[in-house]
Each structure stands twice: as structure tokens, then as C-alpha cells.
Amino acid sequence: MKHTFQQFFRSGKFVFGFSIFVAILLLTFIYPLIIPDPPLEIVAQGTFFEPGIYVSVYDSLGTTPHTLNLDGAAAKRIASKLNEEDRLAMKEWLVAAGIPENEIDTADTQKLLDLWMDNYDPTENIPGMTNARRNYFIRLNNSLKGLLSTEGAIIAEVNPETGTLEQVDVITQTDYVNINQVANVRVLPFGTDNFGRDVLTELVAATRVSLVIGFVSGTIATLIGLTLGLLAGYIGGVVDDIIMFFTNLFTVIPSFVLLILISFSIGQEQRGAVTIAVVIGLTSWFWTARAVRAQVISLRNRDHVNLSKLSGHSIVHIIITDILPYIASYVIMALILQISAGILAEAQLSILGLGPRTTVVPTLGLMMNWALIYQAQILGKWWAYLPVLVTIALITFSMNLMNTGLDQVFNPALRE
Amino acid sequence: MPDEKNLCLSGSGLTKVFGFGRQKCVAVDHVDFNFYEGEIVSIVGESGSGKTTLAKILLGLINPTEGEVYFQGTKRDIGTQKKKKEYWKSIQAIFQDPFSSYNIFNKIDAVLLDCIHMRGGRRLPRAEKVALMTEACSFVNLKFEELTNKYPFELSGGQMQRLMIARIFLLRPQILLADEPTSMIDACSRSTILGMLMNLHFETGMTLIFITHDIGLAYYVSDTIYIMEHGKFIESGTPDEVILHPKEAYTRRLINDVPKIHEEWDLSTV
């Protein structure tokens, strides 16, 4: 047996799939040790904060500033303030004022500003322009002047005695704080979700719960399928007929419909992650049972089984020592596929709102359900669902890869 | 002569049908026979003539569709697992393909220990078990010390088949059913294995049912020969009767198919 396990790692596909899987598994265990926040804690007021590093503005003010003279800092500042709409408006005015269109590049902030400053005249009356539009250009011009000013921002506070504002500090444009000296910095690599929860922390917890669901449902499905397949295949006769009757019955009913009906009838309050896992396991054993039965039928008339019978071994002994080891490779592969199918089934179920009850644990499917309800895909908030999709895809991919690799190990005809 | 001997295994109207309807296939067709104790019986026939199916019926591995098997004069009763176990103490088999006869996950010790346990030696001290296994292995020219911790598939085909005989040596059944025990083995090992089977037969006096397609072999070893064609016994008798004075065309064909050294081999009938 030890020999077989060593063989697994001779297959490149298996090693690759296994590495991805172990990396995901390790991440789910190590991440909570580094960031022990509860995964469902609401940190942000508001929905869908963009991914990035969030620095406390209040704490940055109290931090000793350093002066850095950097070229192009002003241009960058303005560039970040000028949105696409303003740039197009500026271009529109400049074209109307007689500048050739091909000389204007809205992407080059510095050039655009220079052109604007040289040519804009608030008194100039461009034919066909409404008053409101003219006022808009005046406002735009004023705000650009403000952006171009080199004066710093003044911090003032109310003097409790006189009730007047008094200047306490001036922040010049060349003031920088070292991010390491700011007391409160929060990195949100995947931003926040619709409830204002850190998506990454949530994702790690969700991956772990989903993996547990996959393992529990996969193990249950494989065990049931294996037991029934062994009994039906080895004993045959009436036992086979009865087991195959039920197996065929369940195969004909789409198991996903069954899954929806069962989850619905359990009710929102009773649906925990484990309950869902058990339900998934109970509705996905049919193919395993059928396949195991087919394998056992081909095995039960082999000479080594006959010899074992002649040696007076009991049915249980023969099944365990003469049949099971021969189909073990198949069962391991079926188990891997069942686990990934379990994870997918949970995701499908949760997207429909029939997954584990919310507010207790996140799962990959629930995260997609939340993103869907709050229209993340329409609003373009990719960070709410894309990392989840990638995680699901990676888990299934790694498991399928492991499966193909094992197939190579067990089936010499497929070896490269 | 048969009257002086005790009936060991006999069958009346044994039939086995596989499938039904159009796919119906009669593997064994109303076969009657009487095997006597201490005899060497050969069942000769070409592939697909139903020899192995008959062997499995005799072993009790499959149930006949019709007919009865009589064991030592009485109707064989193997309805329960316990009775089957008891029956298998008296009848054992050697299969055709040594490579598929062993569970590849079991070591050689386990194979031989099973036999000792079956003969009621479960409580024997370890040293005595080892002594028994060593004796069995030396009977078939194998060294037990070299085989411990080895798997059967690490042996050659001939060694595996010899280990099979060692198994029988430990089990000492009254009947041994050898289903083409030498067809997968080269000619040199074949004579060794046949010799061992004969030794075992003479030492224990067991009934040997020899299933083979090799009519020449059957002629030299057996007391009685049964010729099987399409699931029926078409001819039976002593080797001299059957081989030297064959009555049926099929038997003549079988005899002609044996290649002879220094003689033109007539391939037209093959």
C-alpha cells in the first residue's frame, strides 16, 4: 500500500493538482492565525469598498510629516481629481474655441491643463452654448485653479474659550507620512462586500466551510455508494434487484431537483452547513453505487475470489480482502470527484438561496448568493464574486487534476 | 472394476444455461458421470466445450440450472455458508491462470496460513505453522524462508502454480479439481508440476479430476477419460478404449490435433 502512495507522486498531474489543493488548504488554516478577525464582522459602513490599502486619515494627521519633493506630484494629484467627464468637457470647449482637435489629448493631463490655462477665457462667448453650460465651465475653471494652487491645507480647531477657529497645523503639498508610522492601516485585498465585511477574510472562512461540506458530503456519498454497490454486486440476486431498483429510481430523478426539494422542506432555520452536506451526500451516491456494482460484478467471478471462497472465507472477509483492495483506486477517485461535486452542489444550492442559513458561517455559495442579491455583477463590483469563482474553479480544477493523475497511476495504459 | 470402488462424485442430468431468450447458451447439457475414489479422471474438450463451467458446478461455485451432484453417494447439500465450508474441505481446485488465482494484496504466508486455518490449525503455535508451511513448500521444491514477505506476483508462473500445489498439500482434500493447471506454463515446468500432482495423488490417494484440452496428456495420466463436446460427454472410458479405439469423429479430431515429433502434422483439421 505504501508503494502505491509513492506511485501517486510520480504523476505530474497529480502532484500539480495536489499542490494547488494543499496550498488552498494551508491558506485556510494559516490565514486565520495571522488575521484572527471573525469572518462575518462588519468593518465597513457602506457597500462594496474597492480593494486597496485603507489608511486612517485622522491618524495620518497626528503622524510626523516628512517632506518629499517629487516631480509630477501635482500633475498626479490633478489627474486623480479630473474625471473623464471633465476632460471631455474641456476638450469640447477647446475645440469650440478653435484649437485643432488632433492636438488635444485627454489622456495627457499636463498638456490638457496647459492648453486650458492658455486658452480659457470666461468672458468669451461661444455661440450655441447655454448659460448653464457656461456656468459649468466657470466652476470647472475655478476648481482647476484650486487644484493648481500650491498652498497647503489648514487644520483648525475650535478654541473653547473664544469659540473661534484657530489654526493648529498646515499640511503642505509636499508632506508625506510613512504608512508604517500610521497607527491604523487596514489592507482590504479584495475590498468589502455588500454588508461591509472584508471579502478576503470571509473568503478564507468560506473556503474552509465549503471544503468541510465537500468532505462530509463526498464521504457520505462514497460510503453509501460503496456499501450498496458492494452488496448489490457481490451478493447479486434479489438483493441486487432491490438495491438497483432504488438506485435506478434515484438516477432517473435529477438529483439537483431532489436536493432543492429536500433543502426547501428542511427550512431556513434548520439548515446548517453540516445539514446541507448530509443532504448533498444523501442525494449523490447513485453513480458511485452503479459503478462500484459494475466493478464488483466483473471481480466476483475471478479466480482469486473463487480461491478465497474455497479457502472457506466468509462473504464479509472476501468483500473486504479480495474485492475492496481491487476497487480501492476507483473508490479513491470517486471520492475525490464526489468532494468537488459536493462543493459545486453547495454553491449551486446557495446561489438559489437554499444553502446553509446565513449569519452563522459563510460558504462559497453563500458569498455568491450575497453578491448576486446586491447586484455586484451589474454594478461592476468584481471583487465581491470573482475571487469566489476563482476559488471554486481552483478547488475543482485541482481535484480533477488529482483524479486524472491517479487514473494515470492506476491505469498503465494512460501513462505517458 | 468400478464396482469395487466407492462412488466419490457423480452427477445426473447436470445442466447449466447462461442467459435466456435469444442469448441463451447451454454451457453444460445434461451430463451424467460417476467418479470413483482414488481415480484420476480426465475431462478433455476444446475451449468453450463447457469444461470450466462443469468444474465450477462441481466445486459448488455456481449452481446448476438442472440436475444434481452426488457427493459420496448422497445428494450434495451446500445450501448454507457453513455447509459449503464443510464441502470445500473435501474438494479443492487448481485454476488455469496462476497470475489471476492469487489476491495480489496478500502475501504468500497469508495464502498458506489460510489453508492451515481451514484444517483447524488456527490455534497452533507459530513455530508449528511455520514447520507445516516449510514442509509444504519443500514438497513443491520451493524454499519457504525465501518466500516469506513476498507477494505471489513476484514469483514466476511455474512457481505460482507450485505454490498452488503446496496449498493442496496442506489442505489434503479428498478430491482435487485441476482446471488446466499446466496450460499457462512452459513445457519444462509442466512436467515438474504434473509430477508433483501425481506424487500428491499417490501420497494421499485423492481423487484427481483433470480438466485439459491436451488429449495426449490425458492418455498418460488418467484412469478414465471423458470427452466433452458442446456441453455433452460424447465418449468415456479407459484411455486405451478412448484414445486407441475412438468411436466419435470429434475424438479422432482431438487425437489428430496433437502434434507429433518426426511426423507430418495434419493441419487440415485444425
Distance, C-alpha B107 to centroid of its chain: 24
Residue B159 resides in a domain: no
Grid cell listed for A312: 472457506
Render pLDDT for B64-113 as a digit per residue (tens, 0 to 9): 988 889 988 888 888 888 888 888 888 999 988 888 888 888 888 888 88
Helices (H), A236-284: 237-252, 255-266, 273-282
Candidates A311, A315, A321; nearest CB to B118 = A311
pLDDT computed for residue B46 by the predictor: 83
Which amino acid is present at B42?
S
Nearest to A314 among B81, B89, B92 (CB): B81
A233, A391, A403: which is closest to A335 by C-alpha? A403
A226/A289 Cα distance (integer angstroms)? 6
Helix (H, G, I), strand (E, B), or coil: what is residue A195?
Answer: coil
User: Helix (H, G, I), strand (E, B), or coil: what is residue A339?
Assistant: helix
CA dist., res. A206 & res. A388, Å (int) = 9
Mean pLDDT of chain A: 87
Numbered ranges of CATH 1.10.3720.10 in chain A = 2-45+193-414
Which candidate from A306, A311, A315 shows the least CB-CB separation from B115?
A311
For range B122-148, the mean pLDDT: 88
Angle, vertex CA B98, rays to CA B92 and CA B103, nearest 5:
80
One-letter amino acid at A20 equals I
Q: Do B101 and A304 touch (CB under 8 A)?
A: yes
- Per DSSP, the three-state class of B182 is coil
User: Is A308's CB within 8 Å of B103's CB?
Assistant: yes
pLDDT digits (tens, 9 = 90+) for A141-179: 888 877 777 778 888 888 888 888 888 888 888 889 998
Neighbours of B16 (CB within 10 A): 22
> B118 and A312: CB-CB below 8 Å?
yes
CB-CB neighbours of A387 under 10 Å = 22
B interface toward A at CB cutoff 8 Å? 56, 59, 61, 81, 84-85, 88-89, 92-93, 95-97, 100-106, 114-115, 118
Backbone angles phi, psi at B141, to 5 degrees: 60, 35
How near does any CA of chain B get to the CA of A307, in Å? 7
Determine the residue among A1, A300, A310 to mutate to test chain B binding: the one whose Cβ has the most chain B Cβ atoms within 10 Å: A310
Helix (H, G, I), strand (E, B) or coil at B227: strand
Q: What is the pLDDT of residue A90?
A: 83
Dist CA A324 CA A326 (whole Å): 5
A312: closest CA of chain B, how far (Å) = 5
Which of A216-230, A276-290, A348-362, B168-182 has the least mean pLDDT?
A: A348-362
One DSSP character per residue, B74-119 reads EE----SHHHHHHHHTTEEEE-S-HHHHS-TTS-HHHHHHHHHHHT
Query: What average pLDDT does range A108-115 have in this prediction?
Result: 80
Q: Which chain A residues touch B81 with a CB distance below 8 Å?
A: 314-315
Could you tell me which chain A residue has the CA closest to the CA of B103?
A: A304
pLDDT in tens, A31-82: 999 988 888 888 889 889 999 999 998 888 888 888 888 887 877 887 777 8
B139 lies in a domain? no
> Based on the structure, what is the number of domains in chain B?
1
User: Is there a contact between A321 and B105 if contact means CB atoms under 8 Å apart?
Assistant: yes
| Cα–Cα nearest to B244, from B51, B263, B235, B229 | B235
**How, if at all, do strands B7-18 and A52-55 pair?**
unpaired
Q: How far is CA B247 from the centre of its chain?
A: 26
Show Cβ contacts of residue B233 under 8 Å, excluding neighbours closer than 6 positions. B31, B32, B33, B226, B227
Q: How far A311 CA lies from chain B's nearest CA (Å)?
A: 7
Between CA B176 and CA B91 the distance in angstroms is: 6
Q: How far is A303 from chain B (nearest CA, A)?
A: 5
Kindly list the residues from chain B whose CB atom is less than 8 angstroms away from the CB atom of residue A318: none
Buried/exposed code over B167-189 (b: 16+ C-beta within 10 A; e: otherwise): bbbbbbbbbbbbbbbbebbeeeb
Size of chain B, expressed as the number of residues it contains: 270
**pLDDT of residue B1 exceeding 50:** no
Among chain B residues, the shortest Cα distance to A315 is held by B81
Residue B121 domain-assigned?
no
Q: What is the pLDDT of residues A303-333, one digit of tens each?
A: 899 999 888 888 889 998 889 888 888 898 8
In the predicted model, what is the mean pLDDT of residues A358-367?
85
Q: Is residue A410 pLDDT above 80, yes or no?
A: no
pTM: 0.79
Q: Which three cell numbers stand for residue A9?
A: 507522486
Q: CB burial class (10 A; 0-12, 13-18, 19+) of residue B115? A: buried
* Contact (CB<8Å) B101/A315: no
Interchain contact, B95 vs A306, CB within 8 Å = yes
Minimal C-alpha gap between A322 and chain B (Å): 6
Specify the CATH number for the domain of residue B51. Answer: 3.40.50.300
Supply the DSSP symbol for A197: B
pLDDT band at A272 (very low <50, low <70, confident <90, very high): confident
Closest Cα in chain A to B152: A304
Answer whether A322 sits within 8 Å of B103, measured CB to CB. yes
Share of chain A above pLDDT 90, in %: 36
Give CA–CA dist B179/A378, Å, rounded: 73
Based on C-alpha coordinates, what's the Rg of chain A?
A: 33
Contact B211, B52 (CB under 8 A): yes
Return the pLDDT at A416. 54
Going by pLDDT thresholds of 50, 70 and 90, the confidence category of residue A110 is confident
Residue A303 to residue B89, Cβ atoms within 8 A? no
Smallest Cβ–Cβ distance between B101 and the set A303, A314, A325 belongs to A303
- Lookup: cell for A341: 461535486
**Is pLDDT at B186 greater than 90 in this prediction?**
no
Query: What is the Cα gyration radius of chain B?
Result: 19
Residue A271: per-residue pLDDT: 84
* DSSP secondary structure, A275-302, as one string: HHHHHHHHTS-HHHHHHHHHHHHHHHTS
Q: How many CA atoms lie within 13 A of A72 on its CB side?
A: 7
Q: Looking at CA atoms only, how far is residue B220 from chain A in angstroms?
A: 28
> Domain for residue B131, yes or no?
no
* Amino acid identity, position A336: I
Tell how far CA B181 is from the center of its chain.
7
The answer to whether the CB atoms of B101 and A307 lie below 8 A apart is yes
CATH assignment of A2-45+193-414, among 1.20.140.10, 1.10.3720.10, 3.30.930.10, 3.40.50.620 = 1.10.3720.10
The distance of Cα A23 from the centroid of its chain, to the nearest Å, equals: 15
Q: Return the biggest CA–CA distance within chain B.
A: 61
Cα–Cα distances (Å) from A236 to A160, A231, B61, B70, B75, in that order, read: 93, 7, 14, 26, 26
Residue A46 per-residue DSSP state: S
Residue contacts between A and B (CB atoms, under 8 Å): 49
Comparing alpha-carbon positions, the chain A residue that sits nearest to B80 is A314
Nearest C-alpha of chain A: how many angstroms from B29?
21
The domain of B83 spans: 2-96+174-269
What would the mean pLDDT of B37-44 be, rounded to a whole number? 90
Interface touch A311/B89, C-beta < 8 Å:
no
Identify all chain A residues contacting B85, using CB atoms and an 8 Å cutoff.
312
Calculate how close chain B gets to A3, using CA atoms only, in Å: 12
Number of H helices, E strands in chain B: 11, 10
Which of A39-48, A119-128, A278-287 shows the lowest mean pLDDT across its residues? A119-128
State the pLDDT at residue B266: 66
- Strands in A100-147 per DSSP E: none
